[in-house]
Amino acid sequence: MLCEKCKVNPAAVHVTQNINGAKTEAFLCAACAAAQNPLAISFDNMFASFLESLFENSVSETVPEKAPLPNDGKECPNCGLSLAELKEYGKLGCSDCYETFRGELNHIIKNLNGSNRHEGKFPKRAGALYAHKREIEHLKADLKRAVENEEFEAAAKLRDEIRKLGSA
């Protein structure tokens, strides 16, 4: 959206004025907003300067420096992320990390989420398909348990139900 006043620069400021009940709104660039209101504060670095003033000298004094994590030998060849850092921070450094830590990722994800598979909500458009597949998978797991426990009548019923759902 371009500035409503100069129609050149992108609008960066939303100005709302309420004078005697008459409300006016304008989307202006920083230069036009400053020219319209000489008392206006520069919006460009306002947040950054606020944070700097809060943390000017206190950051280095109050936050202790972390000890380096032990290196267990496995490291991403692209970004240098170690397995210890992956476990500590829970974030991968680059796309090559997926291949480098393939064996460990399943275990880490299972520990974090309780499962390696998505068990939550699905989009409405595709939800019916996923629910159908999930129900068949649960029935197959029940069938496997029934066969292992030699409950053949229950297994036959589950087999028939799986066939019925598979053809639907």
In a domain, 158, yes or no: yes
Lowest mean pLDDT among 31-35, 40-44, 76-80: 40-44
Quick: pLDDT tens for 16-40.
877 888 888 888 887 887 777 655 4
Region of residue 67 (left: phi > 0; alpha: psi -120 to 50; beta: else): beta
In a domain, 141, yes or no: yes
In a domain, 64, yes or no: no
Q: Is the dihedral of CA 93, 97, 98, 102 positive or negative?
A: negative
Which residue has tokens 């005697």? 20
In a domain, 4, yes or no: no
- What's the token pair of residue 161? 């139900």
- The answer to whether residues 128 and 112 belong to one domain is no
- The answer to whether residues 78 and 39 belong to one domain is no
Structural domain harbouring 144 = 124-167
Beta strands in the chain (DSSP E): 13-19, 22-28
- The answer to whether residues 40 and 25 belong to one domain is yes
- The answer to whether residues 74 and 103 belong to one domain is yes
Q: How many domains does the chain have?
A: 3
Taking CA atoms, 115 is separated from 68, 106, 107, in Å, by: 30, 9, 9
CA 127-129-131 angle, 5° bins: 65
Is this prediction's pTM over 0.75?
Answer: no
- The answer to whether residues 131 and 148 belong to one domain is yes
How many Å apart are CA 143 and CA 152, to the nearest integer?
9
- The answer to whether residues 85 and 110 belong to one domain is yes
In a domain, 7, yes or no: no
pLDDT at 72: 62
pLDDT at 70 over 70: no
CB-based contact 131:150 (threshold 8 Å): no
In a domain, 49, yes or no: yes
In a domain, 17, yes or no: yes
- The answer to whether residues 113 and 128 belong to one domain is no
| Chain centroid offset of residue 93 CA | 15
- The answer to whether residues 29 and 44 belong to one domain is yes
If pLDDT is split at 50, 70 and 90, which confidence band does 49 have? low
If pLDDT is split at 50, 70 and 90, which confidence band does 157 have? very high
In a domain, 30, yes or no: yes
